[in-house]
Amino acid sequence: MHRRLLSIPILMGLVVLLGTTRDTSAAPPPPLGDIQVAPGYKLVKVASGVVAGPTSIAFGHYGQLYVSSLFTGQISVVPYHGKPWVLVPPGKLSGTMGLAVHPRTGHVYVSNSYVVGPNPGTNPDDQRSRISIVHPHSGQIRTFVDDLPSMFFEDLGAPVTGSQGIDFDSAGNLYVAQGINEESREDGDPFQSAILKITPWGKVSVYASGLRAPYDVRVARETCGPKGYGHALYLYAGDNGEGAENEAEDSPVDGLTTRQYYDELNRVIPGKHYGWPGGSYLPHDEETYWFPGKSHIGPLWNFEVVPPNKYWPVPAWPVPTGIDSMHGEHGDIVFLAMFNCPSFFAKNLGTIEMFSGLDCSDRRVLVSLVDGPIDVRLGPYGHRLYFAEFVTGDIYFVAPCGSWTAKPN
Q: What is the pLDDT of residues 125-177, one digit of tens each?
A: 677 899 999 999 999 999 999 988 887 665 555 555 688 999 999 889 999 99
Rounded Cα–Cα distance for residues 372 and 344 (Å): 8
Output the CA–CA distances (angstroms, integers) from residue 22 to 18, 29, 81, 160, in the order listed. 8, 12, 9, 34
Output the CA–CA distances (angstroms, integers) from residue 87 to 25, 83, 90, 300, 386, in the order listed. 30, 13, 10, 38, 21
Enumerate residues 6+ apart whose C-beta is below 8 A from 38.
364, 365, 366, 367, 368, 408
Q: Taking the model in full, what pTM does it have? A: 0.82
For position 133, what pLDDT does the model report?
98
Rounded Cα–Cα distance for residues 142 and 252 (Å): 48
Classify residue 249 as exposed, middle or buried by CB count within 10 Å of its CB (0-12, 13-18, 19+).
exposed
Rounded Cα–Cα distance for residues 51 and 74 (Å): 7
Q: What are the structural domains of the chain? A: 36-400 (2.120.10.30)
Does the pLDDT of residue 217 top 70, yes or no?
yes
User: Mean of the per-residue pLDDT values for the chain?
Assistant: 76
DSSP state at residue 308: P
- pLDDT bucket at 395, cuts 50 / 70 / 90: confident
Output the CA–CA distances (angstroms, integers) from residue 10 to 107, 261, 313, 321, in the order listed. 24, 21, 23, 10
pLDDT one-digit tens code per residue, 247-277: 344 444 444 444 444 688 999 999 988 877 6
